[in-house]
Chain A
Amino acid sequence: MSERKKIDRRDFMRFTGAAAFTGATWMAVGEKAEAKYWQLDPAKCTQCGQCTTHCVLNPSAVKCLNQFDICGYCDLCFGYLQPGSRDLDSGAENQLCPTAAIERKYIEAPYYEYKIHEDKCIGCAKCVKACLIFGNGSFYLQIRQDICINCNECSIAKSCPSDCFSEVPQSQPYMFLTGDTYLAHPPALS
């Protein structure tokens, strides 16, 4: 029968100290170790079009959204219609979106609602660019977290020329724009 080793006071103090240090470290970094998601900042986006081609997914996980409280509900919507369109109707010859992802719905003269079908959107930002230049700027891009596979090194982030991609905490995964400013973490989703 082997003789049982006796723990002396010094060993006990070392064990206790190490345990306390480990616990304190765990608690210190625990807050920061929360899962993070990639997201793009609409304020920095220059609509370069790379979100369409550089995402590992096809179509891209980056989708266009329309913020309705900014939208002017214009009859002549620059995000919806080709420049110089002969008619302000939904004919393919007049539509700007290459995949017809934007639905134009009549409200009352002269107002129309523009809804984006994200299953058709490929994140090309053509509508975003036109709406920003000529319109109210209600169209903007965003990474849809239910589609994004959250690559360790996001392919779009690596190629984004305006450095608008960053990792955001899981609890605040979307960056919206509101009015004249961009609200990174709107109360509804925080």
Chain B
Amino acid sequence: MLEKREFDKSDFLWRLSSTITIVAGLFSLLVFILIIVNYWMIKRADPVNHELLTYLRVEYANAPEKDEALAQRIRDLDLITRKAFFTSQTHLRIGAWVLLGSVSIFLIAFKNMMRWRPQLPELADVPTADKEFLAYAQSRHLITWAGIGLLAGGMMTSYFSETALTAELLAQPAAAEGGAESAAGAGQAAAAVTAPAWDEMLVNWPSFRGPGANGVAHFTTAPVSWDVESGEGVRWSADLTMPGHNSPVIWGNRLYISSADETVREVACYDTETGDLVWKKTINALPTSPREAPDVMEDTGHAASTMAAHGDLVFALFANGDLVALDQEGNQRWGRSFGIPDNHYGHSSSLLAYGDILYVQYDQAVEPKLHGVNISTGKDAWVAERNKISWASPILAQTTFGPQVILASEQDADGYDPVTGNLLWSVKCLGGEVSPSPAYANGMVFVANEYAVASGVTLEGAEGAVTATVSWEFNELLPEVSSPVGDGDRFYFGTAIGDIVCLDAKTGETLWVEEVEDGFYASPILVGDRIYIADLKGNMYVFRTGSAYEELARFSLGEPAFATPAFMDNRVYLRTPEKLYCIEAP
């Protein structure tokens, strides 16, 4: 009997019951929060009116021919939707019983904890009210901290449980077209893709303004003049039926362009030898794609972003935020939706791939970001926060300090590590709503924007410790949309009012200005010692690089020119609003 009393007096039981109380309380709160989140999700789920399923079923029924890939997609989405709905309900039922049990344990343990709590000797000089306050102080602290801990844990848990389904939907791989591949491709992990080396990229035209999107062609020969009306110099041409301001990209003997209007998104592949349409792929809505088309300006359209061709894969980004990866046969390898960008002009940044990463400059009013997307899976390898936005495109500069991804924004030029996405340097040197992309040549970055300023930024230091300083500024004639190009000694650009401007790369001094017929949206391309640039009326200007303007050719393309031409192996590939041309020197 004496032993029992001594045992009672020890604080073992009090500690035990306290621990059980805390654990049971935490667990109960966690379960409670999960139940609330689950209940909310069930209330939101509406299996009767699933918009995407309804849309896909109508699309399937209206298709002229039976589309097995679409049928498989409907089956996959139907399964996911039902599974999510009924699983949530099962979890809700189980959770209610678990909560009942854990709350019961909590109450019993709490009762025992109060019973066995250490009894301190009463102090005669402490007033009654203070004694009670002191006696319950520990409990108050306990409950307060337990509540804070539970709340934090619950919020984290609810966040992760909520994002689980979203992640599942986001990562939904599109079923590859065709029979067995369709079923196999739907639920399996994406196979790793071998990324092409930089040397391979140089002999192709993988992105907007060529390798690295810097406006410099690896090939140094190209026809100087041609005539689309008479057909002189035209190897082949193809009619285009869908709108798109993006430029052609080429990998091997295949040329890719994207097109889109409010409802239809397409990617087309042409044979560069013959101009034959190899395939045309309609890009269906993804499970998380926005249901409404974005508001875009006519000058921007729904397919302004130039694709990226990268070995076995090509990538396309549309104005609604849908990004897809296709293989060379047009099979969709993966797709993801970034959501409609909060962007009053429409999205125009082009894609750029290097190594295993696809760079998506997703600048928008809210939370602008540079996404480093894994080319094999479509998931983010990293995400870099952006302070300011632009409508420009990223470039890859092969500097003496290693490769860098360089972006322009409303106030900065920024350099990023292409592998980690870490910001290497940032310098304030811009202003206004920036559309021209940066240009890099010989250790110097050049950024410019109309109604603001142009800046020459010098990169110095060592790999991993690069400093960027503004060497000079220029604010007379400036580009609005067209991006600049550098030949190492000079930078060249076209303005929106119809000037071709040449600046000294080291000093920013104006070397020459050539006034031409119309303004420029398309960007200049450096091919050997020649620069090609087309104005909005469709006049092509070919001039020699140097400290004076030396025009080699000036002729009409017959149509307005928004897109920048591609140059490969003695040929020019040109997209006009209605035609795709391949020009070849005799």
Taking Cβ atoms with an 8 Å cutoff, the residues of A that contact B are 49, 52, 58-59, 82, 84-86, 91-93, 95, 98-100, 120, 122, 124, 126
Contact = CB atoms under 8 A, between A and B. Distances in A.
Given A52-B48, A58-B89, A93-B74, A100 B82 contact: yes
A185 B156 CA distance: 53
A131 B450 CA distance: 65
Given A93-B75, A126-B48, 6 more contacts: A91-B74, A92-B78, A93-B74, A98-B53, A99-B82, A124-B48
Contacts of A100: 78, 82
A104 B506 CA distance: 78
Interface string B67-89: 00011001100110010011001
A92 B47 contact: no
A93 B75 CA distance: 6
Contacts of B111: none
B75 A92 contact: yes
A165 to B, nearest CB: 20
Grouping DSSP codes into helix (H, G, I), strand (E, B) and loop, the A interface class, with mixed when no group exceeds half, is loop
A91 B73 CA distance: 11
A98 B50 CA distance: 8
A126 B86 CA distance: 19
A91 B71 contact: yes
Given A82-B61, A86-B66, A122 B75 contact: no
A95 B75 CA distance: 10
Contacts of A124: 47-48
B60 interface: yes
Among A58, A85, A92, A126, chain B packs the most CB atoms within 10 A around the CB of A92
B42 interface: yes
B48 A49 contact: yes
Contact of A84 (B42, B61, B78, B79): B61
B126 to A, nearest CB: 53
A49 B60 CA distance: 25
A98 B74 contact: no
B47 A99 contact: yes
Contacts of B56: 93
Contact of A98 (B48, B70, B71, B89): B48
A184 to B, nearest CB: 28
Interface in B48-67: 48, 50, 53, 56-57, 60-61, 66
Contact of A92 (B66, B79, B85): B79
A122 B61 contact: no
B60 A93 contact: yes
